[in-house]
Amino acid sequence: MEKKEKLNEQGVPFGARQKMPLWYGLAWSSRGISAAINVIILMQITYYCTDILGLNAAVIGGLFLISKVIDAFTDLGFGFILDRTHTRFGKARPYEWFIVLEWLFTVWMFNAPKIGTTGQYIWIFIMYVIVNAVCATALGGIDSVYLARSFTTSRNQIAVMSINGFIVMMTSVVFNIWFPGWLATEGTTQAGWRALLIPLAAAMSAIGILRFFICREIVADQPQDGNTTDVGSLSIRESLQLLTKNKYLFIIVGLMFLTFFVNNMNAATTYYFKYIVGDISLMGKVAITSLIVVPALAIFPVLSNKFGTTKLLQGCTFIGVIGLVIRTIGGTNLATIILGGCLMGIGTLPISLMINTYLIDCMDYGEWKTGTRIEGLIASIANFASKVGNGGALGTVGFVMGLVGYEGLTKVQSPETNAAIVFLYNILPLILYVLMFILSVNYKMDQIRPQMDADLKAKREMQDGGTI
């Protein structure tokens, strides 16, 4: 039988307290730590396939893009299932166990057996699909729903996301500083990857599942009144039709796609430092730029309360554009790479760290506009956008490198290949950052939030039998 969460004297769950304990926010971050390390490993799958297995970059890129078609069906399907999930553990919490499966199949992905070139293409494709279209679909699809049902106040939600962002970022920075050195020495053979991943996967699986045992859902589904449609009674087509009326969801989905596309261009970064800068180990020093997030995390809740999430989003994306301009102009100058990287990191912070706040806003807006609250499908569509961005980055890098004739086993690349690497590292991200800024300018949720929150509060009081 599940152990009940310890309550205070007033019987208030940790996630609903006015002063949420710090350790509870740290516990929430456990799965984020595990998932972040997994993402860093997966960013190197193109490099692993080309430089370790000797596979064709264009074929690998094509396979990753094809996998996104499968992702489209699994994401929508999982969102449909999540909206209809009701267990004694809650709606989203049971799916936390997919973090263990994600690590298991990641280990297998980086241990392709010697079954011929075609066999290895098939192996990589199947493992990549399982990790992304199944495991990552479930984990990404539940995050905002789990958050909204475990922390009942906006203050606690922002606080726990700041804590989560700090812990995950610090873990990622430390790993990213160490990882390039390992990559340059031990990560040159399949045996080296196997020696790293097996113990790493065991440790990260144990850490990742802690959140399931500690953080429980405390919000139950609301009873339906005569003016509200139960999402469980809708078909997936009817649910999607309701989502077309949610204009802010489209903006957030677009921002998620672009953010994850930019953040997952690490394969291009590896090529850039190996062939353009000439020293792959310098990636570790540049990874220190991620530390800019640490002070930003401390002031993010304050800035959000003072300026609102809309202005915060717009200001950060504009700073990101400036960072890309500096890095592009500076070329291989390490100082401009570091400065540009710091500013770029600020550009993606709102979506990277506070995405669940924006998604919960979209859920509220959809309920306010249509009378039906859709959670699982919204979270899954946003998760799909992030994976398309991730896969799109990997696929684009592979496709472009294959197009210019990149050979992973050749030490010196052609001028065309070097130009393509510069394009992938600087020019393409700059274009994407400009698009992010344009989308952020059109996100105006702060202007309607006061009326929306008041109307939804009145609606829930009526559903609970209260008075207005």
pLDDT at 373 over 90: no
Average pLDDT of span 121-136: 93
Q: What is the dihedral of CA 166, 168, 171, 173, to 10 degrees?
A: -70
Q: Rounded to whole angstroms, how far apart are CA atoms 369 and 384?
A: 23
Residue 223 lies inside a defined structural domain of this protein? no
Residue 9 lies inside a defined structural domain of this protein? no
pLDDT at 3: 46
**pLDDT tier for residue 278 given thresholds of 50, 70 and 90:** confident
Q: Rounded to whole angstroms, how far apart are CA atoms 147 and 378?
A: 14
pLDDT at 459: 81
Residue 409 lies inside a defined structural domain of this protein? yes
pLDDT at 440: 94
pLDDT at 103: 97
pLDDT at 232 over 70: no
Residue 18 lies inside a defined structural domain of this protein? no
According to DSSP, the residues that pair with 87 across neighbouring strands are: 90
pLDDT at 212: 95
The residue range of the domain holding 367 is 24-217+232-458
Amino acid, single-letter form, for residue 324: L
* Half-sphere exposure of residue 419: CA atoms within 13 angstroms, side-chain side: 6
Lowest mean pLDDT among 59-68, 85-94, 161-170, 224-233: 224-233
Average pLDDT of span 2-9: 45
pLDDT at 468 over 50: no
Residue 29 lies inside a defined structural domain of this protein? yes
Residue 16 lies inside a defined structural domain of this protein? no
CATH code for position 337:
1.20.1250.20
Please give the tally of structural domains in the chain: 1
Residue 464 lies inside a defined structural domain of this protein? no
Report residue 236 CA to chain centroid gap: 24
Q: What is the pLDDT of residues 99-124, one digit of tens each?
A: 999 999 999 999 989 899 999 999 99
pTM score, whole prediction? 0.69
Residue 463 lies inside a defined structural domain of this protein? no
**pLDDT tier for residue 396 given thresholds of 50, 70 and 90:** confident
